[in-house]
Amino acid sequence: MTPPIIDFEAATSGLDHWQSQREELRRGLHQRLGHLPALPSEVQSETIDKRNHACGVIEKLRLHSANNPGIPAWFATPRNLKRPGPAVLWCHWHGGEYSLGKQELFEQKHTPQSPLQCFLEMGLSILCIDAYGFGERNGQDPESCGDHDQEGEHSLFKHFLWQGSSLWGRMLWDDRLALRYLQQRPEVDSKRIAAAGLSMGATRTQWLMALEESLACGVAMACMVRYRDLMHARALRLHGMYFYVPGLLEYCDLESIMALSAPRPLLCLNGAEDLLSPAAGVATVEQCVSKVYDMYGQKDRFRSDVIPAMEHECSPAMWAAMRSWISQI
């Protein structure tokens, strides 16, 4: 296989050299995501509903931009929050549950506690949007051609590919728009925002930490996929079409992407038996990313736990570790 353009070993030969390479690496990632519109300086929103919760106030929103007529979202804030306070951009998972999307915020199906309850109890505001093809957007985005579920995901992928873009790039664009909206909220301290998620949400978190310096912290659970190792394991079928970015492997692999998080706190939690994240790749990424954090003198800000006998799931211990990690912001 052709080696990547980015020579990770050379780029991390010393902190000064890494610092000179990291912006070039980030620009290259933007290019691989395809043609994307500029992000607006201000995000417009529409409040659809507002309701009380035991621990706070919840708003149902639509986020607007010239590029998208309305991204469905939930925003919640603790009732007795000392403003401005910390917040989490929660990135929902895939799991083939196309109708779920942002409703994951209220669920205790795949996590020991609903993310909404968890973060409100911790005193954090929270925002979660429907990604392309999920929740209220399942079959509703014009680019999906009216197709639902997996067929809708495939139609979205094909549409954006023809447009010189990528489905993954458009999903991340929406996440980055959501981050800018969160930074605008008067309840939120824009310097104390974390990104977190499970499975597809973990991958979104890893990329957002790479692309957005303003994020203070990240937690990625149940997904840490080094792309070459996924190919070596002959496991490409285990991830949805959204996951694949044209031309990415000729440029870099996951260790380069995750290294852009340094020196900000990043926690990764994965099961040793999770076939979606081949163990050899996890070990390689851990070693490489740790090296970058070490160069900054911030070794403790990167942590990667691999839990024995665990598959593609989120355990109570993982959830507790996530809570503890995010509490530092």
Q: Which residues contact 287 (CB under 8 A, 6 or more apart)?
A: none
CA-closest candidate to residue 291, choices 27, 15, 28, 29:
15
Rounded to whole angstroms, the Cα distance separating 148 from 139 reads 4
What pLDDT does 129 receive?
99
pTM over 0.85: yes
Rounded to whole angstroms, the Cα distance separating 33 from 166 reads 6
CA-closest candidate to residue 22, choices 219, 295, 302:
295
CA-closest candidate to residue 226, choices 158, 177, 149, 283:
283
- Report domain extents, the chain: 8-326
Query: Strand ranges (DSSP E) for 199-259?
Result: 217-221
Considering the four listed CATH numbers 1.10.3720.10, 3.30.70.3280, 1.20.1440.230, 3.40.50.1820, the one that applies to the domain covering 8-326 is 3.40.50.1820
Helix (H) or strand (E) holding 268: strand 266-271
Task: Count CB-CB contacts under 10 A for residue 158.
Answer: 15
From first to last of its 329 residues, what are the pLDDT tens digits of the chain? 566 788 888 888 899 999 989 999 999 999 999 999 999 999 999 999 999 988 899 999 999 987 677 999 999 999 877 889 999 999 999 999 999 999 999 999 899 999 999 999 999 999 999 999 999 999 998 889 999 999 999 999 999 999 999 999 999 999 999 999 999 999 999 999 999 999 999 999 999 999 999 999 999 999 999 999 999 999 999 999 999 999 999 999 999 999 999 999 999 999 999 999 999 999 999 999 999 999 999 999 999 999 999 999 999 999 999 999 999 99
CA-closest candidate to residue 152, choices 246, 242, 32, 63:
242
What pLDDT does 10 receive?
82
Rounded to whole angstroms, the Cα distance separating 64 from 87 reads 21
